Amino acid sequence: MSTPKKIAIIGSGITGLAAAYELTLKARQTDTPVEIKIYEKASYPGGKIITKKDDSYLIEGGPDCFIIEKPWALQLVKELGLEDELLNTSSQASGTFVYDNHALHRLPEGVMMMVPTKPLPFLASKLISWPGKIRMACDILVPKRKESGDETLASFVRRRLGREALDKLAEPLIGGIHAGNPDNMSLLSTFPRFLEMEQDGGSLIIGMLKRQKKMVEMMKKNPAPMGPKKTFFISMNDGLGQIVEKLGEVIGSENILLERDISQIKPAPEGGWVIEEKNREATTADAVIIATEAYAAAGLLRNQLPRLSDLLDEIPYVSSATVSLAFPRKDIPHPLDAYGFIVPKIANRRIMAVTWSSIKWNHRAPEGMVLLRAFVGGAHRQELVANGDQEMLAMVREELKTIMNISNPPQKSWIYRWPKGMPQYIMGHLERLAAIDKITNDHQGLFLAGAAYRGIGIPDCINNGRQTADRAWENLSS
Ligand SMILES: Cc1cc2nc3c(=O)[nH]c(=O)nc-3n(C[C@H](O)[C@H](O)[C@H](O)COP(=O)(O)OP(=O)(O)OC[C@H]3O[C@@H](n4cnc5c(N)ncnc54)[C@H](O)[C@@H]3O)c2cc1C
């Protein structure tokens, strides 16, 4: 590349930031002059990642952790020199509760992603009825599905583990990750490993046990493959906002343009792309990475690429909200001996889950206080997200009174709404992605990335952002 090339990234969520970071590294490593600009509609970078400090509280408005099983977030944190800032889940508690039949039941030890791997705690638990337990154990006998291809999460779990496992475990635990509806969720796009386990081991239970054995053997061979011991879920001492801040430093704040609402992307007559924005002159770039929500990308491309725009619009989203509340410890009768609880849809309540944030993570609330975070909305109760603050707070308090017997009001509260915040990978998602790829591949210099496509978790978004940056770089270099 002789003359400085221009790359525009639309959206400064973790995907857009990871893409800009990767491009910045490449430009520095190869000493290539290239202009990398991120255009962000909001007044802050980070998209769904919002960390707020208020007195001695640390509040996460969106995500509060990432998993280490998918290595890309951990790897980025290390590259950024933030390894010492990683925060394990606290050892003062462990596990989670499930609200069922008007009581909180501990999720039996050894239940991994809905699959029981330890017989004794599972048999002793009152969460699943005896017929339900027997049905789950039948997984070992149920033959493999003959047809290949996709299936909904609900149909898969009903088939292998039975109805009760779907209602009390899979729906809140697995469906809950996407705030989704298991009846339309594509298993192949969300948790393909379950289908692989069935195909490989003939059973989920056997497949999960094999996986555990493999992990133990791996740990024996290499006791600390990822450095000092880390928990499955991990966060940062100062919240996930720390990653956003550091990425901003590397990319350069002058390259992250805030309050820039892009309205249209169209091919430039001389090659490259024109980026139009509200109330400003249009600008051009040799390549554009659109790292917004899929429906926002659809809006940007509507006039020029209507078929692509329609496909993007077919990716549905659901709305949710987080409500964080600070209570004096003495006002909470529960022993708080876990990280929180999940609420299955069949319990018919108005919250999906509650994280006991200051129990799960150290340094989140001052001495003597407890920070809880409730999730509202999701595929089943989206309408609740539109409630006003007073109504939302009153509703969450009523739910906490019923479930945890907390009567006194919180001393502080923080509400974050995420309208159309969670993309849903419903049946047909993979075919839709293939059709989207086919069109973008025909348009040199146009790239799409983000949570809507190949994984909604932070590690997947980082991986997708960096891989997309690789492709954009290659494209410019050729
Ligand atoms: C409540 C909640 C809890 C979650 N918890 C977890 C968790 O604990 N762990 C985990 O791994 N994942 C979690 N997730 C998922 C994860 O946070 C998101 O999938 C991920 O952060 C999305 O990143 P992104 O960059 O793809 O998109 P976003 O963060 O949505 O960023 C897109 C950006 O594009 C901008 N934009 C849109 N339109 C335009 C335009 N026209 N012009 C300019 N800019 C525009 C938006 O303002 C936004 O900043 C959670 C999500 C939510 C909502």
For residue 342, the cross-strand partners are 98, 353
What whole-number distance in Å separates Cα of residue 389 and Cα of residue 413? 10
* Architecture per CATH, 5-48+242-315+426-477: 3-Layer(bba) Sandwich (3.50)
Query: What pTM did the predictor assign?
Result: 0.96
CA 138 to chain centre: 32
Q: What is the pLDDT of residues 16-65, one digit of tens each?
A: 999 999 999 999 999 999 999 999 999 999 999 999 999 999 999 999 99
Q: What is the mean pLDDT of residues 76-82?
A: 97
**Distant-in-sequence, close-in-space partners of 447: CB < 8 Å, separation ≥ 6:** 287, 288, 289, 290, 440, 468, 471, 472
For residue 373, the cross-strand partners are 324, 355
What is residue 235's three-state secondary structure? strand
Q: What is the mean pLDDT of residues 303-311?
A: 97
378 lines ligand 1 (CB under 6 A): no
The residue whose two tokens read 């529960």 is: 334
Q: What is the pLDDT of residues 353-374, one digit of tens each?
A: 999 999 999 999 999 999 999 9
Domains 5-48+242-315+426-477 and 317-423 share a fold: no
| Position in ligand 1 atom list of the atom nearest CA 423 | 19
Mutation to probe ligand 1, out of 9, 48, 60, 258 (largest number of atoms < 8 A from CB): 48
What whole-number distance in Å separates Cα of residue 422 and Cα of residue 24? 29
Ligand 1 centre distance from Cα of residue 426 (Å) = 19
Residue 71 burial by CB count (10 A; 0-12/13-18/19+): exposed, middle or buried? middle
461 lines ligand 1 (CB under 6 A): yes
- Give the 3-state DSSP-derived string for 120-167, with helices as H, strands as E and coil as C: HHHHHCCCCCHHHHHHHHHHHCCCCCCCCCCCEHHHHHHHHCCHHHHH
* Architecture per CATH, 317-423: Alpha-Beta Complex (3.90)
Ligand 1 centre distance from Cα of residue 14 (Å) = 7
**Distant-in-sequence, close-in-space partners of 230: CB < 8 Å, separation ≥ 6:** 68, 74, 86, 88
Helix (H) or strand (E) holding 298: helix 294-301
Structural domain boundaries of the chain?
Answer: 5-48+242-315+426-477, 110-221, 317-423
For residue 318, the cross-strand partners are 422
The pLDDT value given to residue 217 = 78
Helix (H) or strand (E) holding 263: strand 262-267
Per-residue confidence at 227, pLDDT binned at 50, 70, 90?
low
Ligand 1 centre distance from Cα of residue 455 (Å) = 12
Ligand 1 centre distance from Cα of residue 392 (Å) = 22
Looking only at the bridges linking them, the beta strands covering 111-112 and 115-116 are antiparallel
The pLDDT value given to residue 301 = 98
Q: What is the pLDDT of residues 168-197, one digit of tens each?
A: 999 999 888 999 999 999 999 999 999 998
CATH ID of 110-221, from 1.10.3110.10, 1.10.10.10, 3.30.70.2860, 3.50.50.60: 1.10.3110.10
241 lines ligand 1 (CB under 6 A): no
b/e per residue 436-457 (b: at least 16 CB within 10 A): beebbeeeebbbbbbbbbbbbb
The least confident of 59-63, 82-86, 209-213, 462-466 is 209-213
Ligand 1 centre distance from Cα of residue 218 (Å) = 34
**Distant-in-sequence, close-in-space partners of 394: CB < 8 Å, separation ≥ 6:** none
The pLDDT value given to residue 36 = 97
Query: What is the side-by-side strand order in the sheet with 273-277?
Result: 262-267, 273-277, 283-285
Ligand 1 centre distance from Cα of residue 170 (Å) = 24
CA angle 137, 138, 142 (to 5 degrees): 140
Q: What is the mean pLDDT of residues 122-136?
A: 95
Percent of the chain with pLDDT strictly greater than 90? 85
The pLDDT value given to residue 1 = 46
Percent of the chain with pLDDT strictly greater than 70? 97
162 lines ligand 1 (CB under 6 A): no
